Amino acid sequence: MALVVVGGIVTTLSRGGWVATAAGIVVFAAWAWRAQAVAPRVAAGVLALLVLLGGAAMSVQSVRDRVAHTVAVDQGDQAVVLKDVTLAGRTLMWTATLKMIPEHPVFGTGPLTWEWFHLKYRDPRLQMRPRYTHEDVLQLTSDYGLVGLALVLTILGCFFWHAARMSRPGHPADQRAFAIGSAVAVSAIVVHSFVDFNMHIPANALLVVTVMGLTVAMDNGTAGSRRPAMPRVPRIVLAVMLLAMVAAGVRFGVPLVRADRATSLGNVYKEALEWDSALESYRNAIAADPGFPEPWAKTGDIYRSQSALASTPEDEAARQQLAQQAIAAYGQSLTLNPYQSEVMLRLASAYELAGDNGSALRTYQRALAVDPNNAFNYMRLGIFYRRIGEGQQAIEAFEKSSQLGARDQISVVNIEDIRRTVPQPK
């Protein structure tokens, strides 16, 4: 089994997985020795074997490359240092999350809202838009507040307490083995969760809670530890509650699945420029779940594209109508989720097509208020200012975008061309 685990972890090239596996092995050896499930020499032998396996893994070229990409030896003091102190942007996300938590400390910002609230706090060096903070503890606290964190810590504490009891000498061997194995498994994924978002992957979360549930449901088989049977009435009440939860899941889950499927199909049609079919799919998604913002935004994209194509004077009325339809669709999407800065940029573009530069400017500024360190937001604002002839404002927006990292997208020559058209102060 150890060979299978090490082989799988080596193949993934996951540095967090390597750390979690090492932690799990140490926990296994220590826990098994404490529970007197194995002799000390056996635990030491397992550790030695795994050290040898780790050394053997270093003979694999892909593993060596991964290690070399992560750490280096400082030539000055021969210390091992990280090549990327941000850990692929993780520390930047963690720092931003630590700024978010004090503003919503008790109940957090809400389930799965980190990716939207994070935009306001993001580090300028992180120009991508991640969905997860790559640190489950911080994301848990951000989404659910200190109340959610305390609840999860209590659950984990009760689990490990019960696993420790079940692994004591005197319990049946199969139960002791299962308790130790489940404790090791949960320990490993908890360690990995400090550098990744494992528990936000539904399959991982389901597997972990299943293992924990099977563990806490065990007793040692003696008469004194047997759990009393639940009386009939509470059993019926519990069964009804479970059935009600299932019914609620079906009631709200099926429309969500239908809406997501229809939206995905609409996206396929949209990419193929089959706009009528795409609009029909988005309408089906909206009918299934009117609270889903994505199909509204995608509908706006199609109307905006059609408006932009209607460029001749004869098409002016149609262009205006399509632009207004795009504005309405984008507005509905932003009503459902007011933190979508990229949708705001598209809404501003629709306002430009409609000839409403005042609303376009306010929308660009709104996008910057939601996502103030986004280089692309400033670049789009600069393009808008350049189009309406506001040269100085365009230069300032382009320079800010360049400072935030969009140097490849913004040509210095273009900025200089604009600067030559701007009157210089005497």
For residue 89, being part of any structural domain is answered with yes
pLDDT tens column, 70-117? 766 566 665 656 677 788 889 999 999 999 999 999 999 999 899 999
Concatenate the DSSP letters of all residues of 156-209 into one string.
Answer: HHHHHHHHHHHTSTTS-HHHHHHHHHHHHHHHHHHHHTTSS-GGGSHHHHHHHH
pLDDT of residue 78: 57
The domain in which residue 293 lies consists of 236-372
State pTM to two decimals.
0.83
For residue 114, being part of any structural domain is answered with yes
Q: Which two tokens stand for residue 350?
A: 């629709």
Tokens 């600067």 correspond to: 419
DSSP H helical ranges for 58-172: 61-70, 90-100, 114-121, 136-166
Cβ-contact 35, 188 below 8 angstroms: no
Average pLDDT, 10 consecutive residues per value, the chain (426 residues): 65 76 80 72 72 71 71 61 78 94 94 93 89 94 96 95 86 85 91 91 92 85 62 90 91 91 96 95 96 96 94 86 97 96 97 96 96 93 92 90 72 64 62
For residue 51, being part of any structural domain is answered with yes
pLDDT of residue 414: 66
Say if residue 62 is in the same domain as residue 174: no
Supply the CATH number for residue 270's domain. 1.25.40.10
Residue that is last in its domain, among 372, 398, 421: 372
Q: How many domains does the chain have?
A: 3
For residue 157, being part of any structural domain is answered with yes
pLDDT tens column, 401-426? 888 876 655 665 467 667 767 665 55
